[in-house]
Structure formats: C-alpha cells, structure tokens
Amino acid sequence: MKKLLTAIAIAAIAGTASAYPDKPVTIVVPFAAGGPTDKVARDLAEVLRKGLNNQTVIIENVGGAGGTLGAAKVAKASPDGHTLLLHHIGMATSPALYRKLPYDTANDFEYLGMVNEVPMTLVGRSTLPAANFAELRKWIDANKGKINLANAGLGAASHLCGLLFQQSMGVDMTTVPYKGTAPAMTDLLGGQVDLMCDQTTNTTGQIESGKIKAFAVTSTKRLSTPVLAKLPTLDESGLKGFNVSIWHGLYAPKGTPKAVVDQVNAALRNALKDPEFIKRQEALGAVIVTDGRLAGAEHKKFVESEIAKWGPAIKAAGQYAD
Ligand code: ASP
C-alpha cells in the first residue's frame, strides 16, 4: 500500500513537472515570414521543442510597425508559456522611436534569455552602377534626392542602420517601410528599391549568388565567413565609428509562472548547444550567445543597456512615430 501511495505521489509530481507545455507553443515573430528574424525562429523552434515535451512549436508572423505589433500581441497574451516572442534589437530601439508604445518593454515581459548576435550588411540592387563602397559613395552623391532605402518599419534594425547611414553620409534618402526585410528583399532583388541594411542571416545567400551587391559590413570588425570576409567595414570605409550589430532574445508575457520560465530557459540553453543549429547560424555570420546573457535577468540588463545606448542617438535624429 505504502509503495502504491509513493508511486502515485511520484506520478503526481512528474505529472505536474511535465504539465507544460500541454499543447503546441507559438513563437510570435514580429516580422514577415522568410526574413532574418523568422529564419532564426524557425531554426530555433526545431531544437527548442526538445526541451518542451517535444510539442510542436509554431511560428506566427505578426509583422508591421517595426516589430511593435507582434511584441504587443505577446505582451497581452495569456501568461502560460504557450505564446512566446522572438524579437531583436527593436525591443531596445522602439521605446525611443515610438511616442506611445502599445506595451511596456520593462514590465510587460518575462525575459527568457538571449539567442544570438548578428552583424548587418549594407546591400544594394544588382543593377547599381557601383562595384564597391567608394563607387557607391560617388553614385549616392550624384543621385541625392532620388535614392530609395528599404527597411522593415520604424524601430526595425534596418531602419536604425539606415538612419545612422544617412546621418553619417549627410544624405537624406527616401525610406520605404515593409513588414519585414523578406518583402523588402524581394523588391531589392526586383530593383524597385536601391539599398538596404540587413542581417547577414538574410543577405549571405543572395550575396553569394550575385543577386544583390554587398558594399560593407556594419560592425566594427570584418567578418570571417567565406562569403562576407572580403567586405570592408563602414568604419574603415570612412564612416568613422559606424557600428550596428543586432541580437535576438526570447520573451514571454509578464506573469508566466517561474517554473515555466525556467523550463523555457533550460530548453533555450540546450538548443543553443545543438551542433547543427550552431553550424547553420555560424555559416550565416551569427554568433551564438554563450555568456551570462543566457539568463533572463542578465538579458534584461543587457536590453536596458541597449535602450540607454540607442535612445539618445535616435532622439537626436528626431525620429518619432505616434
Ligand atoms: N531584418 C529586419 C529588420 O530590419 C527584421 C526582419 O524581417 O527580420 O529589423
């Protein structure tokens, strides 16, 4: 009898421990399908599910308004761990860019941990009459007032990078917002827009196939992947101090139970050790996080430092949306 009761107690505990997730988990990506944030999420979903009772992990693309619509959706979702958010640096830039954000960055989310850091590239349509950054600079000078610069909306990484690029060049361009850089890339491939900054995870394949032109990387260090190693940095190309590198993090609605937060954090840590995931990410120029920012609290501190870093630059540029 005692043995039976013990077995029932163990089963009950085990039942409690594995109760989450008891249905598919949705990761909201606040940008269009097929873009860089979406690609990270889809790769991550495959490995994350191993730590989530092997439940299906569904990606839901909620693009628009530079990632703020998707983030707002998760902020308001049921805090049970079945709706998560994979966001990028926009988590830190949107507070300065939007006068009224539809969520509170610091208080509406549980910070689950950081995923990766991804440099960006300055790319252009293949028909641009420039083979390198020096030639691009001449073309930009000769075409002031006529240049289109694509981005994924106010608050997106491409917007931030494009903003700094225009400031550093002292040239105003017409910015063309999309719901993510996947549709922007389609138009860049079609020659409807001239230039874009985008994560290496999205541009590497297109650069390799020669369908777009790459002029520089936006980090302060050159990159080492075979496709990107030949590109100069914007800093060494004359735009002194230019440095935009982005990152991705995972979030849940505020109030998600601690046991669930801990389980997703453990699943994330394991996912980031998966050799196939690491290989795929590194081939595209991404660097997997291995430091303290894997912990939710440390990641939150990092986001706060990014808010402090970018806020003044964005405000100085006078960029706001209501
Ligand atoms: N790369 C986009 C950005 O500029 C977002 C995306 O589509 O993943 O922020």
* pLDDT, tens digit (0-9, with 9 covering 90-100), for 191-236: 999 999 999 999 999 999 999 999 999 998 999 888 999 999 999 9
Cβ of 152 below 6 Å from ligand 1: yes
CATH 3.40.190.150 domain span(s) along the chain: 2-118+246-317
Per-residue pLDDT at 283: 87
Per-residue pLDDT at 193: 98
Ligand 1 centroid – CA 274 distance (Å): 24
CATH 3.40.190.10 domain span(s) along the chain: 119-217
The fraction of the chain above a pLDDT of 90, given in percent, is 81
- In this structure, the residue with its CA closest to atom 7 of ligand 1 is 180
* Ligand 1 pocket test target in 181, 245, 248 with most atoms within 8 Å of CB: 181
Is the per-residue pLDDT at 282 higher than 50?
A: yes
Per-residue pLDDT at 321: 65
- The whole-angstrom separation of Cα 139 and Cα 133 is 10
Is the per-residue pLDDT at 245 higher than 80?
A: yes
Binned at pLDDT 50, 70 and 90, residue 313 comes out as confident
- Best CA proximity match to 299, nearest among 87, 102, 122, 98: 87
- Best CA proximity match to 287, nearest among 119, 140, 126, 141: 119
Q: Which atom of ligand 1 is nearest to the CA of 202?
A: 1
Is the per-residue pLDDT at 174 higher than 90?
A: yes
Binned at pLDDT 50, 70 and 90, residue 271 comes out as very high
- In this structure, the residue with its CA closest to atom 2 of ligand 1 is 181
Minimum mean pLDDT range among 3-17, 70-84, 91-105, 107-121: 3-17
Q: What is the pLDDT of residues 115-138, one digit of tens each?
A: 999 999 999 999 999 999 999 999
Cβ of 35 below 6 Å from ligand 1: yes
Cβ of 181 below 6 Å from ligand 1: yes
* Ligand 1 pocket test target in 165, 202, 206, 284 with most atoms within 8 Å of CB: 202
Binned at pLDDT 50, 70 and 90, residue 319 comes out as low
Look at strands 174-177 and 287-288 and give their pairing. unpaired
Ligand 1 centroid – CA 283 distance (Å): 19
Architecture of domain 119-217: 3-Layer(aba) Sandwich (3.40)
- The whole-angstrom separation of Cα 133 and Cα 130 is 7
Per-residue pLDDT at 322: 64
* Ligand 1 pocket test target in 29, 44, 88 with most atoms within 8 Å of CB: 88
What angle separates helix 157-169 from helix 90-97, to the nearest 10 degrees? 60
Which pair of structure tokens corresponds to residue 184? 């922007």
- Best CA proximity match to 163, nearest among 224, 103, 122, 110: 122
Which residue reads 């085990």 in tokens? 14
Query: Region 124-153: what's the mean pLDDT?
Result: 96
Q: Which atom of ligand 1 is nearest to the CA of 180?
A: 7
Q: Which atom of ligand 1 is nearest to the CA of 88?
A: 9
Q: What is the pLDDT of residues 97-114, one digit of tens each?
A: 888 899 999 999 999 999
Q: What is the pLDDT of residues 51-69, one digit of tens each?
A: 999 999 999 999 999 999 9
Cβ of 93 below 6 Å from ligand 1: no
- The whole-angstrom separation of Cα 111 and Cα 318 is 29
Backbone dihedral angles phi then psi of residue 124, each to the nearest 5 degrees: -140, 170
User: Do the beta carbons of residue 32 and residue 180 sit within 8 Å?
Assistant: yes
Q: Which atom of ligand 1 is nearest to the CA of 63?
A: 7
CB atoms within 10 A of CB 76: 13
Per-residue pLDDT at 87: 98
Per-residue pLDDT at 141: 96
Per-residue pLDDT at 315: 80
Cβ of 30 below 6 Å from ligand 1: no
Tell me the whole-structure pTM to 2 decimals: 0.89
Q: Which atom of ligand 1 is nearest to the CA of 90?
A: 9
- In this structure, the residue with its CA closest to atom 5 of ligand 1 is 180
- In this structure, the residue with its CA closest to atom 6 of ligand 1 is 180
Architecture of domain 2-118+246-317: 3-Layer(aba) Sandwich (3.40)
Q: Which atom of ligand 1 is nearest to the CA of 29?
A: 8
